[in-house]
């Protein structure tokens, strides 16, 4: 059973190797899809196993608990949708001349490497290895962001690499300081950064240096999660990247970075008490939601609009983590999963709109529901998921986050957050109605829809509905993850 933990890392690596040899073709694209599906399967098989305790593999090098499995499920689901859509998407790009064979080859190699790096980040037991994996995702996605080779794409790639790398460097400093205090608490040098070692020795860690390390790790992993103050790369990178990559970055990478932060939080809370990171996450989360909501009001570009929506959701997730109760953590994980599926759905639709209009301006797109039923419905359903309407899952997760915040005596925070979310809601609805409703302009281009993109969209719609009705076995998984992270009741 423990070798199952190697599958999420090795399967995408194999796909990347195959792509490096053969270039972009149907075979390699479908092997990548199979790898993403393998990640999903391995997570699904482990669901029941991890509820009773963590699973280890390769000695103590890899570790899976309920949080890991949740992140594997998110990664697998969104990864499957994104890689499936990539098949038709890249073929269409090649046909339209937006990229060449070399670009497609690079895409084919980097996408599974990206998946492998994220998988390593969630199954690693050593938080130093976790750091390496997160930094590797920056490197892997840098050229994915710049895929289209336009001026805007390069600008986005530069800002992404620079700002994220600075942030993640601060996280490295925090990790070094954590290693320092762990050694001083008596851990052996080979295992000082292991999660279980840190949890065991948490009470003996020096509080002052831990406080410094925690602050740095909050900044650093917050940078990769799109939280203030290193949030400024998000809109540029997510809007310039090709749609399947945006879906993966918005839907999974932000959450994986936040999951790393949650791991650190579980250790720091034992050392310092919950007060320090609770205050830090509240400030960071509220500022992030404020900035995201404000920038959504003045948006004129629909992909940037979706990126700011991701930022807003990450801010909400940070606020939920600050509350720290069992319900809050479980709701946060449901939110991450629901957001992943909904965001990929809407990004895939947006990608098709961009391909049709060769522009991402909101004013350029009108009457989508009339022009293309499936793209319009996918975009509408995705937006409905994001604004928190039932019967989709983000309604349930936002409701539960609200209940958790009220129960944790954070009523004022909840009120402010809800107000900001309403402002974001207004922008999304207004822009959505401008794009979807009404009669199309007479010279509007036809919206092409490759087969695999359509299939991925339909699957996404069905999954969103299903998750909104019932979480099934996932409820127990989320709750056990909350308990394992040390959430208070």
Partner 1 sequence: MSLATYTGVLDLTAGAFLLAAVLIVWRRELRSIVHLLAWQGVALAAIPLTEGLYEGNPGPVIVGLVVLVLRAGVLPVLLLRAVGTADAERRESTPLVNTTSSLLITAALTMLAYAVTRPIIALDQAAATRAVPAAFAVILIALFVMVSRRRALSQAVGFLMLDNGITATAFLITGGVPLIVELGASMDVLFAVFVLGLLTGHMRRAFGGTDLDQLRELRD
Partner 2 sequence: MTTTVLPAAAAELGEGPRTARLAREAIASGLATTLLGALGLVLGVVAIFGPTRHLRIDWLLPLAGVRFDVDPLGGLFIAVTGAVAVAVGIYTVGYAQREHWARFPMVVLPLFVAGMLLVPAAGSVPTFLLAWELMAAASLVLVLSEHNRGAVRFAGVFYAVMTQLGFVMILLALVLLSAAAGGDAFTTIAAHADDMSAGTRTAVFVLTVLGFGSKAGLLPLHAWLPKAHPEAPSPVSALMSAAMVNMGIYGIIRIDLQILGPGPQWWGLTLMILGAVSAVFGVLQATVATDLKRLLAYSTTENMGLVTLALGTASLLSASGAPDVAAIAMTAALLHVLAHAAFKTLAFLAAGSVLAATGLRDLDKLGGLARRMPVTTVMFGIGALGASGLPMGAGFVSEWILFQSLIHSPPDGNTLLALAMPLSVGAVALTTGLGIASMVKAFGVGFLARPRSVAAEDARESPMSMLTGMGLAAAACAVFAFWPALVAPALRGVLDALPEVGGDTAGVQLATFLRLPGIDGSLSPALLAVALAAGVLLAFAASRWGARHRPAPVEVPLWACGAETLSPRMQYTATSFAEPLQRVFDNVLRPDTDVEVTHFAESQYLVEKVTFTTRLADPVEQRLYTPVVGAVIALAQTVRRAHNGSVHLYLLYGAIGLLVVLLVAQ
Q: Which residues in the 152-171 window bind partner 2 by CB under 8 A? A: 158-159, 162-163, 166-167, 170
Nearer to partner 2, 422 or 488 (CB): 422
3-62 residues in contact with partner 2 (CB under 8 A) are: none
Count, in order, helices (H) and strands (E) of the chain. 20, 2
Axis crossing angle, helix 66-96 with helix 101-123, rounded to the nearest 10: 180
CB of 415 to partner 2, least distance (A): 6
Task: Report if residue 162 touches partner 1, rule: CB under 8 A.
Answer: yes
The site partner of 135 among partner 1, partner 2, none (C-beta below 5 to 8 Å per kind) is partner 1
Separation of alpha carbons 67 and 50, rounded Å: 9
* 395 scored as a contact of partner 1 (CB under 8 A): no
Of the pair 190, 279, the CB lying nearest partner 1 is at 190
Residue with Cβ nearer partner 2 (125 or 309): 309
The answer to whether residue 135 forms part of the interface with partner 1 (CB under 8 A) is yes
Among 62, 81, 235, 487, binds partner 1 (CB under 8 A): 235
Structure tokens at 200: 């065991």
295 binds partner 2 (CB under 8 A): yes
Q: Which ranges of 23-58 does DSSP label H, i.e. alpha helix?
A: 26-46
Binder to partner 2 among 17, 23, 128, 229 (CB under 8 A)? 229
CA-nearest of 262, 247, 260, 258 to 307 is 247
**Span 301-360, contacts to partner 1 by CB under 8 A:** 301, 304
Of 402, 458, 465, 476, the residue at the interface with partner 2 (CB under 8 A) is 402
**451 near partner 2, rule: CB under 8 A:** no
Q: List binders of partner 1 among 73-112 (CB under 8 A).
A: none
What residue 372 binds from partner 2, partner 1, none (CB within 5 to 8 A, per partner kind)? none
Element (H, E) at 56: strand 55-57
Nearer to partner 1, 146 or 351 (CB): 146
| Residue 260 or 417 having the CB closest to partner 2 | 417
- 393 scored as a contact of partner 1 (CB under 8 A): no
Give which of partner 1, partner 2, none residue 56 binds (C-beta under 5 to 8 Å, depending on kind). none
Query: Which stretch in 44-52, 146-154, 322-330, 469-477 sits in contact with partner 1 by CB under 8 A?
Result: 146-154
Question: According to CB under 8 A, which one of 23, 128, 367, 445 is a site residue for partner 1?
Answer: 128
- Shortest distance (Å) from residue 63 CB to partner 2: 26
Contact 233, 133 (CB under 8 A): no
Q: Which residue, 99 or 240, is less far from partner 2 as judged by CB? A: 240
Q: How far is the CB of 268 from partner 2 (least distance, A)?
A: 12
Chain mean position to CA 167: 17
In this structure, what token pair is assigned to residue 418? 């809800």
> How many angstroms separate the CA atoms of 300 and 360, rounded?
9
Contacts with partner 2 in 378-397 (CB under 8 A)? Answer: 384, 387, 389-391, 393, 395-397
Q: How many residues bind partner 1 (CB under 8 A)?
A: 55
Q: Applying CB under 8 A, does 374 fall inside the site for partner 2?
A: no
Nearer to partner 2, 33 or 345 (CB): 345
Residues 6+ apart with CB under 8 A from 150: 240
Q: Which of 86, 387, 136 is nearest to 248 (CA)?
A: 86
| Residue 398, CA distances (Å) to 394, 436, 468 in order | 6, 25, 12
Closest alpha carbon to 260 in 443, 88, 126: 126
Contacts 24+ apart (CB under 8 A), 17-25: 19/105, 19/108, 19/109, 19/112, 20/109, 23/101, 23/104, 23/105, 23/108, 24/90, 24/94, 24/101, 24/104, 24/105, 24/107, 24/108
């Amino acid at each position: 059973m423990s070798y199952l933990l190697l599958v999420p890392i090795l399967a995408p690596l194999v796909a990347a190797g195959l792509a490096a040899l053969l270039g972009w073709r149907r075979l390699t694209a479908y092997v990548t899809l199979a790898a993403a599906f393998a990640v999903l399967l391995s997570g699904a098989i482990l669901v029941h196993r991890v509820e009773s305790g963590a699973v280890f593999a390769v000695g103590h090098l890899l570790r899976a608990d309920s949080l890991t499995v949740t992140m594997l499920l998110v990664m697998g689901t969104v990864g499957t949708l994104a890689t499936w859509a990539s098949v038709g998407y890249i073929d269409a790009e090649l046909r339209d001349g937006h990229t060449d064979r070399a670009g497609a080859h690079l895409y084919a190699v980097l996408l599974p490497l990206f998946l492998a790096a994220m998988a390593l980040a969630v199954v690693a037991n050593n938080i130093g290895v976790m750091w390496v994996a997160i930094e590797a995702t920056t490197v892997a996605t840098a050229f994915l962001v710049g895929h289209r080779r336009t001026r805007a794409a390069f600008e986005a790639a530069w800002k992404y690499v620079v700002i994220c790398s600075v942030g993640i460097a601060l996280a490295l400093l925090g990790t070094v300081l954590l290693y320092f205090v762990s050694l001083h608490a008596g851990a052996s040098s080979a295992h000082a950064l292991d999660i279980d070692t840190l949890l065991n020795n948490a009470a003996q860690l020096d509080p002052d240096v831990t406080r410094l390390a925690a602050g740095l790790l909050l900044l650093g992993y917050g940078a990769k999660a799109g939280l203030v103050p290193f949030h400024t790369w998000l809109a540029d990178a997510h809007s310039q990247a090709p749609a399947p990559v945006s879906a993966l970055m918005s839907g999974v990478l932000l959450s994986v970075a936040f999951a790393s932060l949650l791991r650190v939080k579980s250790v720091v809370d034992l050392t310092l008490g919950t007060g320090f990171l609770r205050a830090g996450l509240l400030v960071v989360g509220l500022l992030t939601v404020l900035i995201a909501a404000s920038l959504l009001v003045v948006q004129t570009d629909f992909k940037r609009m979706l990126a700011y929506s991701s930022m807003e959701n990450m801010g909400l997730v940070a606020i939920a983590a600050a509350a720290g109760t069992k319900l809050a953590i479980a709701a946060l994980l449901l939110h991450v999963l629901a957001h992943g599926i909904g965001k990929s759905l809407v990004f895939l639709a947006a990608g098709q709109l961009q391909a049709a209009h060769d522009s991402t301006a909101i004013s350029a797109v009108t009457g989508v529901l009339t022009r293309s039923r499936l793209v319009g419905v996918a975009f509408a359903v995705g937006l409905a998921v994001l604004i928190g309407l039932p019967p989709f899952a983000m309604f349930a997760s936002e409701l539960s986050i609200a209940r958790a915040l009220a129960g944790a005596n954070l009523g004022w925070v909840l009120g402010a957050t809800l107000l900001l979310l309403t402002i974001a809601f207004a922008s999304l609805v207004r822009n959505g109605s401008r794009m979807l409703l009404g009669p199309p302009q007479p010279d509007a281009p036809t919206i092409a829809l490759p087969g695999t993109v359509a299939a991925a969209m339909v699957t996404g719609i069905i999954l969103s509905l299903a998750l909104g009705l019932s979480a099934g076995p996932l409820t127990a998984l989320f709750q056990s993850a909350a308990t394992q992270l040390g959430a208070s009741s």
